[in-house]
Structure 1
């Protein structure tokens, strides 16, 4: 299904319950930032103060899960409910914040999300720079794990943790988790559906189409950390996922390898919890030096003596 252009988006007037002003009276919609099975994301601006935002358009037929939101008569995409829940408890610096949302008559939904003015997703960040120095990978990874602890503590599981769903503020080197389109309410019992990314999925899903929330998340974190320090993901095929034996293609410290292998344990019960990830020896480092991290970026990956701390 073809998405509407940004010009067409500006011309239409979405309708939201209990909101008098339409979308186009409160926000401007600019160029296309990206698109996929989830819909399309445009740059945008809040007219009242010029705040830079991202506008995510979701067509109704692409919504896999619907849920009820207090005060709304009709069901809305689960993503709205999950993001609303996280915002209502105060939000977290490492999780994208939902600022507003609108229903477009006959089309779908527009989600207005915060967006750092100078941001880049981690996939592009790694593609441009290659494998990251461990110090910088640790800086990002710690933020991501802390953000996921907040997400889980408030009854939400993301289910699609990957480099494309992490946005880096290139000025501050702070990161945010985005795109909760594959997310769900957190539960202790197994899930039997998965809309995330296959190469980030764990062996139990590949083999039996069943998984638990925390082991799934931790497996994805292991894939992500490998991706950061090696410059690419460890597994491409189902057989490689099931074998669960990452082959390190760069020089990586023993401590970092140990954490990655723990996260990528074949048996879900052998993987750490998020709290245990944070207490692993590799994570127990002095606070990062932002100036040194910036120097690493300017000098490029080849300017450093290897990948170890």
Structure 2
């Protein structure tokens, strides 16, 4: 969408309230709005405004236009310099989230947008959670290919380590053009991730 007066281009995420059928889905929407209002960083997508009507929620957010996933697919693999630049931006933004006690928990190239200047913008905080000192998280969430061993095993985790793992997978994908472990059969995929011979355990 384009602001009729300023000419500023934005993206509008429309959530149909009729499709938010359970408390988990409602909590996810609420969390994303809450965390995006709190976080202000050059490499995190900006939330400008939230408009609620009887039928829909409209999230007016920064327009990025591209997606790291598509960029990797188009280029097969990235150069070390380009991958380093993207990775530094991702790590910088995630470190900022962790300092504000927020763990993303669903980092993957599809959730890393690219603006017209080819800068990373982390999006989709629906699975994020607040970290509390002394408390641990256990929820298994995120995309299986990018999930840390403790997440897929149902173990307790503090938070930051699962984002760090996902960042490692993303870096591998950028440099190699493929996933470090992949399988259509989820139990076998989990076995590969937990295995001692996977690339990220070396």
Give TM-score scaled by structure 1 length. 0.57
1:135 equivalent in alignment to 2:87? no
- The answer as to 2:200 corresponding to 1:240 is no
Question: Given the superposition, is the C-alpha separation of residues 244 and 99 from structure 1 closer, same or farther in structure 2, using an over 3 Å criterion?
Answer: farther
Other-structure match for 1:98: 47
Q: Which has the higher contact order (CA 8 A, sep 6+)?
A: 2
For 1:95, what is the secondary structure of its paired residue? coil
C-alpha spacing 1:245/1:112, structure 2 compared with 1 (3 Å): farther
- The two structures have a TM-score, normalised by structure 2, of 0.86
Are residues 1:174 and 2:112 paired?
no
Q: Please, which of 46, 49, 63 is the counterpart of residue 115 of structure 1?
A: 63
How do 1:105-254 residues align onto structure 2 when only pairs under 5 Å count? 105=54, 107-116=55-64, 119-169=65-115, 171-188=116-133, 189-236=135-182, 237-243=189-195, 245-247=197-199
1:244 deviates by 5.1
Return the offset for 1:209.
Answer: 4.5
- For residue 27 of structure 1, what is the aligned residue in structure 2? none
Deviation at 1:183, TM superposition (A): 1.2
Residue pairs, 1:77-96, within 5 angstroms: 77-86=30-39, 91-96=40-45
Number of residue pairs matched by the alignment = 191
Encode CA deviations 1:184-204: one digit per residue, 9 max, x unaligned.
Answer: 122342212233111111111
State the alpha-carbon separation in 1 of the partners of residues 191 and 61 from structure 2: 38
1:228-281 Cα distance to aligned partner (Å, 9 max, x none): 00112212211111115345xxxxxxxxxxxxx3xx57xxxxxxxxxxxxxxxx
Unaligned runs of 5+ in 2: 183-188
The CA distance in 1 between the partners of 2:196 and 2:34, in whole Å, is: 34
Q: Does structure 2 retain, via aligned residues, the 8 Å contact 1:156–1:185?
A: yes
CA contact (8 A) 2:45 2:121 kept: yes
In 2, Cα distance between equivalents of 1:193 and 1:54: 30
Q: What's the secondary structure of 1:64's corresponding residue?
A: helix
- The superposition leaves residues 211-234 of structure 1 with CA deviations (integer Å, 9 ceiling, x where unpaired) of 221110111011111110011221
Query: How far off is 1:142 after superposition?
Result: 0.3
